[in-house]
Chain A
Amino acid sequence: MTAGEKDGTVASGNNSLVKRMLSSMWGYWMFLLTISFGVAAAIYWIWLRGSV
Chain B
Amino acid sequence: MFDFAIAGVSAPISLLVFVGFTVGIVGGFIGVGGGYMVTPALIVFGFPGYMASGIDMTHIAGKGLVSTMRHRQLGNIDWTLALTMIAGTMLGVELGVRVLVYFKQLGLAGIVLLLTSVVVMFSLFLYTQIETRRSHRQMQELNKAGRDPGRELQTSSLPRLFQSIPLRPIVRCRTARVVVSMWVIVLVGVVTGFLAGFLGVGGGFIRVPALVYLVGASTHIAVGTDLVEIVFSGGYGALRHSIEGHVDMMAVLFMLSGALFGAQFGSIATSYVRGPAIRYILSYSLILATFGAVMRLAYVLTGQKVEWLSFFAVMLTLGEMTFLCLFILSLVWFARRHKRGEWVPDWVKPLVIS
Contacts and interface: CB of A to CB of B under 8 A. Distances in A.
A17 interface: no
B44 interface: yes
Contacts of B319: 33, 36-37, 39-40
A51 to B, nearest CB: 6
A8 B347 contact: no
Q: Which secondary structure dominates where chain B touches chain A?
A: helix
Nearest to B12: A47
Contacts of B18: 43
Contacts of A39: 318-319, 322
Which range holds the interface residue count of chain B?
A: 20 to 34
Interface string B337-353: 00001110111000000
Interface in B117-176: none
B310 interface: yes
Interface in B304-354: 310-311, 314-316, 318-320, 322-323, 326-327, 330, 341-343, 345-347
A28 B315 CA distance: 20
Contacts of B327: 32
B48 interface: no
A35 B314 contact: no
B91 interface: no
Nearest to A41: B315
Contacts of B346: 23
Contacts, number: 62
A11 B26 CA distance: 34
Given A44-B314, A52-B314, A22 B342 contact: no
Contacts of B330: 28, 32
Contacts of A44: 314-315, 318
Interface in B25-55: 44-46
A36 B323 CA distance: 5
B250 interface: no
Among A6, A35, A44, A52, residue most surrounded by chain B Cβ atoms (within 10 Å): A52
Contacts of A36: 319-320, 322-323, 326
A24 to B, nearest CB: 8
The 4 closest A-B pairs by CB, nearest first: A8-B343, A36-B323, A40-B318, A40-B319
Interface of B: 12, 15, 18, 44-46, 284, 310-311, 314-316, 318-320, 322-323, 326-327, 330, 341-343, 345-347
11 contacts: A6-B343, A7-B342, A8-B343, A23-B346, A36-B322, A39-B319, A44-B315, A48-B314, A51-B46, A52-B44, A52-B311
